[in-house]
Structure 1
């Protein structure tokens, strides 16, 4: 199998992806209005929604992270990676079963607007647009690096632009239905290849399973007490709690709205949690097998060392696994961003609404194109700055927006000023944690404590305000003398 054949395999995969997406452009299912573009016809099977969730939840660099970090960080990294994959989806499964009143919504910002008005909607949309631009840029850079590293006979820039064009074409003209079907195809490809990759790496180790287990048991980082170190129990508890909420975002919540009922949405997230956990577990197994095979290679060099000693077959599988994961993440993010730029943000700003709403579908498609071009340019510039911004986004998003969203789903209704007080409280809590708590505990896992501060502030201010209204004496009419 030559490297030129890898290029041919990539071309066949991209052609199949394009053909799958074109199947959604037939006359009966053609996108003719914005609602059909945003959520399809709400006739997706549970399997299709599960594949869509898995495609967007399993990002491009996940395989590389699993290979690089599992050997050096051991059992805690295994718990971290599985936890951050499983628990957000289980929590969303629980929330989805309680979203009967929001099934006609098109986005998470619209759900926020039911309680907090246009300002709450605008804040949520702006948060996700900023986050999506960074994530898409980083994923496009992953595509570029993967092609550059594994298919040197091709021009990585040309291939990256070609892949981006294919994604933006079916996202623009096929909408939710095209993205769902291409995610099914991409999910099938990377799942199949991952199973084969795991088996081939296992065969190449040349060691029986019992011997591998004995070897791992002798490594200090794989001792079970590392799950909850005695000198850092509080830090570990905070990290485990952060698993539940840290990966929840509008791009995942959007899968609730494409479901036909809360029951289907609940089942989809539950099954996706199990499926994604199996995928991540397979990647971790690959990482463990490579660590057993090359135990003396430093973690920072293990990825390059593995690829240098991998056969062309393995390189081809690794390449397609990374590309399919990255593509399924990018197209879903682009779709959600298009909805927010054409629907949520204009509806929050009356001046924009007047011009945008008569041409929503056109605006959504133009927004997709503009965001794609912008992220394509951004993906080759200032990556270190983007990663720093993304780290701060992870600290701020959960405290500021997750508590208000959870309260909305649980039928808590209040005014935007009350919500704003809670959001500011959460924001100040994050900065206070970073300044005073971080030096003591040595962890930035402040999401849950700061989110609780947001929720408590909202509930406290809401009920305090209502109490004051009840005890306020009525005004007396003073008769004129």
Structure 2
């Protein structure tokens, strides 16, 4: 009888079903490939910001950040803060993208400037990047499902989740992706602080006690970060790759 009261399972299924409904609802009235690819660019700035944030800070990135902060301490925290500098550079370069605003993709823009070979290279690079991002998201989903759902086949749930994401993304185009990302952004903006609070309370320690504990850990001391060693070189190279 316990299986009928698996609240985490009901929560996951409800969220996935709602996400699918939202994705399919906003995929209506798509009559051209342009609408499918860029949605005629009829999106509010706040919606686009939420989409970018939901994409940049996905499940894979969240799990990786938690793991690496635990393993590397201040190295990873500082790297994460500096990684946003690339967005500032892009914002400066974006001012010159006016002549290409009616293109449907970055490969099309590259091809119009640097020939069809550049277009092919950009397309292949984009596909490889998308595969890596999707694999990270599926891995994060599988890990979360394994931790939260007992008595349910994790592989089956992971496959169902992946098929739902592929289904509404493939048939709904950019509108489905944007508005489901907005839904996910709102959901996790509410849930993550609540989870963080419960995790903090479960430690049974005050904020001052936690700060004091971290200060005694070598990997969270500035003196262990700001000196030349192989870790600093590795973090610098990783920052350049962002």
Q: TM-score, normalised by structure 1?
A: 0.46
Q: CA deviation at 1:150?
A: 2.2
1:162 and 2:176 matched:
no
CA distance in 2 between counterparts of 1:20 and 1:119 reads 38
Q: CA separation of 1:97/1:150 partners in 2, compared to 1, >3 Å: closer, same or farther?
A: same
User: Greater Rg, structure 1 or structure 2?
Assistant: 1
SS state at 1:146 partner: helix
Q: CA deviation at 1:207?
A: 1.9
Match in the other structure for 1:90: 88
Match in the other structure for 1:12: 14
1:177 and 2:179 matched:
no
Q: CA separation of 1:172/1:227 partners in 2, compared to 1, >3 Å: closer, same or farther?
A: same
Q: CA deviation at 1:237?
A: 7.7
The Cα offsets for residues 258-312 of structure 1, whole Å up to 9 and x where unpaired, read as: xxxxxxxxxxxxxxxxxxxxxxxxxxxxxxxxxxxxxxxxxxxxxxxxxxxxxxx
- Report runs of 4+ in structure 1 exceeding 3 Å deviation: 230-234, 236-241
Q: TM-score, normalised by structure 2?
A: 0.88
Q: Work out whether residues 54 and 181 of structure 2, in 8 Å CA contact, stay in contact via their aligned partners in 1.
A: yes
Q: Which runs of 5+ in 2 are unaligned?
A: none
The Cα offsets for residues 234-268 of structure 1, whole Å up to 9 and x where unpaired, read as: 726833751xxx34xxxxxxxxxxxxxxxxxxxxx
Match in the other structure for 1:66: 65
SS state at 2:115 partner: helix
Over aligned residue pairs, what C-alpha RMSD do you find?
2.4
**Number of paired residues?**
240
Match in the other structure for 1:201: 199
CA distance in 2 between counterparts of 1:234 and 1:222 reads 14
CA distance in 1 between counterparts of 2:43 and 2:167 reads 21
Q: Give the number of the structure with larger relative contact order, counting CA–CA contacts within 8 Å between residues 6 or more apart.
A: 2
Q: Work out whether residues 228 and 236 of structure 1, in 8 Å CA contact, stay in contact via their aligned partners in 2.
A: no
CA distance in 1 between counterparts of 2:232 and 2:152 reads 49
CA distance in 2 between counterparts of 1:109 and 1:238 reads 29
The Cα offsets for residues 124-169 of structure 1, whole Å up to 9 and x where unpaired, read as: 1112213322432343233233323321222222222221222222
Q: Work out whether residues 225 and 232 of structure 2, in 8 Å CA contact, stay in contact via their aligned partners in 1.
A: no
CA distance in 1 between counterparts of 2:194 and 2:184 reads 16
